[in-house]
Structure 1
Amino acid sequence: MLRKAEDVLTTTDVRRRQVDERIRRLESRLVREHDEVPPSLVHEWIERASARFGDARVRDFVPLLVERAVRASVLGFSSDQHEMSGTWLPDWARNTARRLLADELPRRWAHTAGVARRARQVARVLPVEERDLLVAAAWVHDIGYAAELADTGLHSLDGARYLLRAGLSRRVCGLVAHHSGASAVAELTGMAEGLAEFGDERGRLRDALWYADMTTSPDGHPTTVEERLAEIRRRRGPDDPVVRALAINGDERLAAVRRIHRLLRRTYKPARG
């Protein structure tokens, strides 16, 4: 009798793990299919739907029910458009990034375009007058990797100095200079004094840029911040200053992403099916 109970428990556990794995694959697929939605929201909708349908009598149906609920939320989010301020700045930034990156560094360009898409999605958490600043900073945040601009080797600093010479506001330059924890890398590489030329804006606008960067893969696809940090470690290796800096700024990156996620939750209520 005891043996039968153990067999039933094992079978139940195996079935639960199978369903959980299907839901993880479902999340990866939905995040990629719905590039217009911030990935942290897709993750939350899946978690919420999974909890809601977790007691379904036929667990094999749970992934299907979860998918239907998430797709309903996606439709609501996609139709909830927010206005931009409509200045020239994002167009200038996009054209500049394309000129500097598209041919020389196509993968970096793909990442940049993905970050800019993400920035447009999360711009709804900002005042209207700051939304173009966010999108513009997203387009140019990595231009310092271009050979034409490379000087110090710290791409955020090289990019910010170029933007300052081009006449952009110090606010945009500062966002680029300090994006995604660049100050920790500057400390490790002896460039903190140079980076200090630019103010580090601590607030919602900076958080939004960090969110956009940290939820976009090197190929421009949406990803979670945890996957992004793991990918950085794999790609760069333990001795790279960017990886070493994660011991200093990893928690700060996570905190910025979580703050923007909470704001996104407040600006949109998922549909209830």
Structure 2
Amino acid sequence: MEMSLTRINELTIIFYAICVLLYFIDFLDHNRKAKNVAFWLLSIVWLLQTIFLFKHMYDTGRFPVLNVFEGLYFYTWVLVTLSLVLNKFLHTEFIVFFTNVIGFIMMTLHTFAPSQYVSAAVSSQLVSELLFIHITIAILSYGAFSLSFVFSILYLIQHNLLKKKKWGKRLLRLEDLSKLDYMSYVLNVIGVPMLLLSLILGSIWAYIKLGMFFWYDAKVLGSFLVMVAYSFYLYIRLVKGIRGKTVILINIASFLVLLINLFLFGSLSRFHFWNP
């Protein structure tokens, strides 16, 4: 059974790679056939991921978010799910491609992460409903921020095409700048309160379970830095009323801060058993 799950995971990566490649072909050449095949492959990827996720939940008897192996997998599943939903209801060109570039990178990191072999004894010590909620909400907020980042990238692409007056098919397939900016903003409005709630729940869990809180831990400081970065984005957009490329660049910079916290600060942490 363990070998079968490994084969499912390998098959998922192969399908995912082909899917991203086909979306890239559609991005370059407006190939509708490639796009349709990619969508069905992505649906298969989601199905295989869901099977693997629920099987892991059945084996461990808990929600799988307690280490980098589980966390990255759930994060990837969230991105694939959101991209399928957006493709169904929003019909925004290229959003699925860019979102799943991020998802494929995370899936690859998950597959080759050495920390997937974290001791079961360590994981069992961390079992807590409060911890589950804290981690799950954090991952969902990361999913919202990831999609916001994708919309910002699309904004820059569209802005560049308009500036250079390249009136091609790619320009027509992208949404107008105001909609891309607005969608990026809405996703951050969703992500920021979720991240704040996750930080509050994580702090409460630390005090309850550990009797203390490591405020100067790299991961803790990094998480609050992410919160500050995205709060600054909302401040600039709502209070200062700034729109357009300036606020888009701030959003992209905020996502880079998130990635630094996810990988660099997480590896430096002496407090978090779960990284990212």
Normalised by the length of structure 2, the TM-score is 0.28
Structure with more relative contact order (C-alpha pairs < 8 Å, separation 6 or more):
1
Q: Which has the higher helix share?
A: 2
**Higher CA-based Rg:** 1
